[in-house]
Amino acid sequence: MMSIWDSIVLGVVEGLTEFLPVSSTGHLTIVSKLLGLPIDDPSITGYTAVIQVGAIAAVVLFFWGDIRRIVVAWVRGLANAEHRTEFDYHMGWYVIAGSLPIGIIGFLAKDLISGPLRSLWWVAGSLIAWSFVMVAAERFSTKERPLTRITMRDSVVMGLVQCLALIPGVSRSGATISAGLFRGLDRVAATRIAFLLGIPALLGAGVYELKDALHGDVGAAPLIIGTLVSFGVAYASVAWLLRFVAKHSIEVFALYRVLLGTVLLVLLTAGTIAAT
């Protein structure tokens, strides 16, 4: 049975790491293991998916003005062809198109994601491997296009790469931001799109996994507390990250990922912790 303390710790971890390019799922898997929780149990994997809803609620609140404007423009464009030249109308389609791949792949590969890929070996390897992709994205991209110059192809590519985040340790934000940078978007544009693409992806995963979290040994109270804590911490994290990427490279996160992955590999090899 998950304790209230466990739920608070995991809520803080989720809120801190969901939108930073360090892999929230990887961190939740590691911390769950350190707390003595069965990381390959469906109720635990369901719990980690559900508390992401708190982080998503924080993003919705933070970007409410943008989201409302996009939704209104999209609906207005559907009803009247005269409004289909508006940027926000197209942005609505970009978010929809970019969100579809992870929904389809996540549903089809659910057993793999919640089973074998929950091994800490996968987490360690993915943390290290994707760090090199993030560094390459920073060093070999032009970062010349602002948000207003995004295209449907950009969104689809970012949505496809987002699917790699189903592997614990890759990082959904790290994958989408890197893809955006490779496409020539500047850091702020890539990060904002990464946030918007995360809303339907994480909300859908949380709703789908709710049954597993409630039917297991987690309990309703830890689920509610973990979600609320992740909401508060995530709101602060989103605000900080947008300010950070406006002036700084994401390579610092890659360095952290390599260090964490290396420490994890050493602990696994020494038998200090078990992989599942």
Q: Residues 54, 229: contact at Cβ < 8 Å? A: yes
DSSP 3-state of 119: coil
- Residue 270, class by beta-carbon neighbours within 10 Å (0-12 exposed, 13-18 middle, 19+ buried)? exposed
- Count of all residues that appear for the chain in the document: 276
> Which amino acid belongs to residue 189?
A
Q: Residue 145 — φ and ψ, nearest 5°?
A: -105, 130
Domain ranges of the chain: 4-270
The pTM of the full predicted model, rounded to 2 decimals, is 0.89
- pLDDT tens per residue across span 37-94: 887 777 787 788 888 889 889 999 999 999 999 999 999 999 999 989 999 999 999 9
* DSSP reduced 3-state for 40: coil
Tell me the residue type at 31.
Answer: V
Question: What mean pLDDT, rounded, does the chain reach?
Answer: 89
In angstroms, the CA 226 to CA 206 distance is: 13
Confidence of residue 107 (pLDDT cuts 50, 70, 90): confident
Q: Give the model's pLDDT for residue 160.
A: 95
Cα(189)–Cα(166) distance, integer angstroms: 23
Q: How far is CA 47 from the centre of its chain?
A: 15
pLDDT for 230-270, tens place per residue? 999 999 999 999 899 888 899 999 999 999 999 999 999 99
Mean pLDDT value of segment 208-228: 77
- Calculate mean pLDDT across residues 203-213: 72
What residues contact 152, with CB distance under 8 A and at least 6 apart? 90, 93, 94, 97
CA distances to 6, 220, 221 from 227, in Å = 12, 11, 10
Whole-angstrom CA distances from 77 to 91, 92, 96, 275 are 11, 10, 15, 51
User: Which range, 19-23, 90-94, 192-196, 218-222, is most confident?
Assistant: 90-94
* Lowest-confidence segment of 34-43, 134-143, 172-181, 234-243 by average pLDDT: 34-43
What's the pLDDT score for residue 212? 65
How far is the C-alpha of 128 from the C-alpha of 47, rounded, in Å? 25
Least reliable range by pLDDT among 41-50, 160-169, 175-184, 208-217: 208-217
Residue in 62, 3, 52 with CA at minimum distance from that of residue 23: 52
> How far is it, in rounded angstroms, from Cα 196 to Cα 96?
10
Dihedral-angle region of residue 169 (phi above 0 means left; psi in -120 to 50 means alpha; beta otherwise): left
